[in-house]
A and B are shown apart, each in its own frame.
Chain A
Amino acid sequence: MLGREKVLDIVRRAVEYSDADQTQAAVEIGESSLTRFANSMIHQNVSERNGGLAVKAIVGKRIGYAVTNKLDDDSIRAVVEKAVSFARNSGENPDFVSLPKPKPILEAETWDQRTADYSPEDRASAVGGLIDEGKARGASAAGLLNNAYAENAIVNSLGIEAYSADTVARMQTVMTAGDGFGYADRISRRIGDFDTVEAGIEAADRSVRAQNPDAIEPGEYDVILLPYATGDLLEYLSYLGFGALAVQEGRSFMKLGEKVVGDNITIWDDALDPRGIPVAFDPEGVPKQRVDLIVNGVANALVYDSLTAHKEGRESTGHSTGGLGTYGPMAANMFMQPGESSLDEMIAATKYGVLVTRFHYTNVIHPTQVLITGMTRDGTFLIENGRITKPLKNMRFTDSVLRILSNTDMISRDLVRQSCTVVPAIRAKGFRFSGTTEF
């Protein structure tokens, strides 16, 4: 690690070297290591030390942007010069008002020394333990174990100075037992928060239960979505509609004050909540604010970066996506309000339905309807008379996330942390499966 002052020095110098009207410099420096396994062996095992300095220069309403991963003084001067030169030669962006001004930044729990220090031998040992549990159950393991740290600093010519040191650890596994597949993943700022072997057991047990799947006809079914799948639905809401730019351009489903999903659905974004992946500030150096996106089914508020906020005469909520932000701000620390059921109670209350572990290769068909399609994967089961009775072959679904969340009648009381979301399992009525596959 370079430490706070050395990292801040890079971006302070970049801003100092600029003769643009306004300048923002952001740097990220860190290491990421990832052990990947398949067929119960480590087959890829990598580590990288990387960094990047991004300079945004503003001349009038013209914006230039340049990035380099060379961090010596000559390269810093060169990247600033490039950004300023681009700003002078670019066209105007009339929507630009100003870079953000400084605001107090709250502390977030982002660092864990053990995660930063986790070694190749530590990763191999943890992966070996997971593989052994799979083998003991007759399952072959694939997946990854990743640990990383990064130092981030942002300075702009209006006085913003922000620094953070972050760690992240994640694991993911797909176990294969014959023609059965099972999945589990974990993510946290602290590697000690999860047990790789326990996740392996979850996936292996699921793969064993998923063997010899039957096919059912496409159609409407009541479904129970495990949190792995619920998280995907929220990510599409964010991607397609929670950002202010999507609303300003008329491509969002969010009509503020109108009911968009069921009364029992409340979704907010809170990057400071340690139950998620905490982040103190966004890539513009603006402190993260909690935003209550959907309250009791009603579209309530949007997330903003400085460009979209200034267009409406308001302040950024700290949801810039960095770079030039041409896609607009995004909510990436979302929470869904838990319900009162356990997963077992949801299964017991289902007369005939399908339990979905996770989705695969989902994609948008219609943005304002949040109509998406995708496949089920790694553990799909039939529920009959309140019991899981048999595994199912995977199915394609084509349905609107708004419709699914309007038809959700049970929500689990336990929330599970995913990469961008903290979400429950849900039960939705009349979920639309549109096709089948052969496995």
Chain B
Amino acid sequence: MTVTGGHKPLRDLTEKALDKVRSLGASYGDIRIVEQREEAIEVKNGKVEGLSSESDYGFGIRVIADGAWGFASSLDVSPEEIERVAEMAVRIAKASASIEHEPVELAPVEPAEGKFAFGLKTDPFEVPVEDKIGILLDADRIMRETPDIGIAEGSMNFWRFDTVFASTEGSYIEQTKTESGAGIAATAIKEGEVQRRSYPGSFGGDFSASGYEFIEAMDLVAHAERVAKEARMLLDAPQCPSDVRTLILEGSMLALQVHESCGHPIELDRVFGTESAYAGTSFLTPEKLGNFRYGSDIVNIVADATCPGGLGSFFYDDEGVPAQRVRIIDEGMFVGYLTSRETAPRIGQDHSGGAMRADGWNRIPLIRMTNINLEPGDWTLDEMIKDTQKGLYGEMVGSWSIDDKRLNFQFATEIAWDIDGGSLGQVYKNPTYTGITYEFWGGCDAIADEDEWRLWGVPNCGKGQPGQTAHVGHGVAPSRFRNVRIGVMDEPPGEVESAEEEEGI
């Protein structure tokens, strides 16, 4: 981390913007200038389907005028356009204020100044694309050596974000962050049945605020054969039975469970209804803070924006609030929210927890997950399985769905193994499990220890209108849950018609 006075031409532009909004009567203003670079590689069935580079640059000005918010943004980072956009932001705020409203009030924040960058060993943008493609094609070739693999695919993604934040309160913060991620997947297809296995996680693999060393450590090629063989094995596996059982989840699936059933309902803007027309609200209403049992007493969850390598890590959020570690679930009790400068005072807090992030220069910051981490317990996965008489062990995300207050969820894993008498046995296809959030976490009776704890990167968290995609993190270790309903609609009653007849759900 280094501290400087800022890049002079950009600083001139930010000062121009802030002077302009002040002169137009804004009581608060900030400007973010963001440059984003992305490189993506997609390989499928021996072909390089995608090799792409994307660069994106612009600025956004956010103001409060007459007690209401306005925001305007543009791709043209020039003094003339900054003047126009500043005027538009204030005009929009005054339009917001033209209908009945409660004046926006912000929790105080100490103005900050400095330049901050996350460290990395190997800059992924300096690694030749041929080397990256070579790894993916090698893994792809090995996967296709297994019969019935209809789709073998692999991908790598790299991002760099350079952000300048300046506010009328005196902050001027420059931040740089680089992220890397990769994954492979094999889809076995035979007679209408389609089954997929992935590594190291599904839907693009795993991601980290790290350099190319993160990709090298994955060793994608070494896992290709196993992934393909497991996908093929699933074609002939029996359907996951419908039952109520003990369920053990592997890390990447548990990361999604934390994301959907804890990360989203603790977003305080959702709680106050500002996402109610789209993503929904939350069952974790303010009167539950400090006196609602969310999970069993071994469940401890923190929102930690300071984790090394976390996609949800930063030095300052997009309101200029420093990164923090906030307790969310303490020995099973619900004790904290993800907050912003606007929402924190509404639950009696004197400062923001620092969770406001924007998806680029053309979006306003919203409350987003940082790294929502389940703290490790004192088990191992092996001990958990040996300690389970009748259960199911599920690995990697198949699909996900949860209601708009984040209570009723239904998730699918890619694969599951029967646990019988403390050992893994029969493999099942199409495993699903469902529950009510607090009942599910209330049944958590074992969490693996820090040796099996891993921070997963999720680069596709959607929220807001216009839509925003956040990159967030979830640190988890495999965990066990009692009395979980598995195998939803295994054998639905009634006459089966059309395509289901031959495929048999």
Contact = CB atoms under 8 A, between A and B. Distances in A.
Nearest to B84: A49
B454 to A, nearest CB: 24
Interface string B27-68: 000000000000000111011111111111110100000001
Nearest to A436: B408
Given A41-B101, A220-B494, A369 B466 contact: no
Interface in B106-153: 128-130, 133, 137, 150-151
Interface stretch (B14-22, B271-279, B287-295, B296-304): B271-279
Contacts of B161: none
A87 B133 CA distance: 12
Contacts of B9: none
B69 interface: yes
A360 interface: yes
A406 B497 contact: yes
A403 B498 contact: yes
A363 B401 contact: yes
Interface string B471-498: 0000000000000000011001110111
Contacts, number: 297
Interface in A190-222: 220
A91 B277 contact: no
B93 interface: yes
A375 B408 contact: yes
B443 interface: no
Contact of B133 (A68, A91, A369, A432): A91
A311 B15 CA distance: 56
B500 A400 contact: yes
Interface string A340-363: 000000000000000000001111
A120 B92 contact: yes
Given A90-B51, A437-B408, A364 B399 contact: yes
A82 B53 contact: yes
A373 B53 contact: no
A36 to B, nearest CB: 6
Given A120-B92, A131-B99, A375-B401, A220 B493 contact: yes
Given A324-B42, A371-B505, A398-B488, A437 B92 contact: no
Contact of A45 (B95, B402, B407): B95
A142 interface: yes
A74 interface: no
B410 A437 contact: no
Nearest to B279: A361
Nearest to A131: B99
Interface in A154-177: 172-174, 176
Interface stretch (A7-15, A59-67, A281-289, A384-392): A59-67
B498 A402 contact: yes
A121 B438 CA distance: 44
A189 interface: no
A203 B184 CA distance: 45
Between A32, A260, A375, the greatest number of chain B beta carbons within 10 A of the residue's beta carbon is seen for A375
Contacts of A36: 274, 465
Interface in B201-254: none
A35 B92 CA distance: 9
Interface string A373-417: 111010000000000000000101011101100110000000000
A403 B189 CA distance: 22
Contact of A44 (B50, B69, B498): B69
Contact of B99 (A41, A46, A66): A41
B466 A142 contact: no
Interface in A46-70: 46-51, 62-70
A70 B75 contact: yes
Contacts of A403: 496-500
A95 B50 CA distance: 13
A35 B72 CA distance: 12
A73 interface: no
11 contacts: A38-B275, A46-B73, A64-B51, A68-B55, A174-B276, A326-B44, A360-B404, A375-B404, A396-B403, A398-B488, A406-B497
Interface of B: 42-44, 46-58, 60, 68-76, 85, 88, 91-93, 95-96, 98-102, 128-130, 133, 137, 150-151, 187, 189, 192-194, 272-278, 280, 283, 362-364, 398-405, 407-408, 410, 412, 430, 432, 434, 436, 465-466, 488-489, 492-494, 496-500, 503, 505
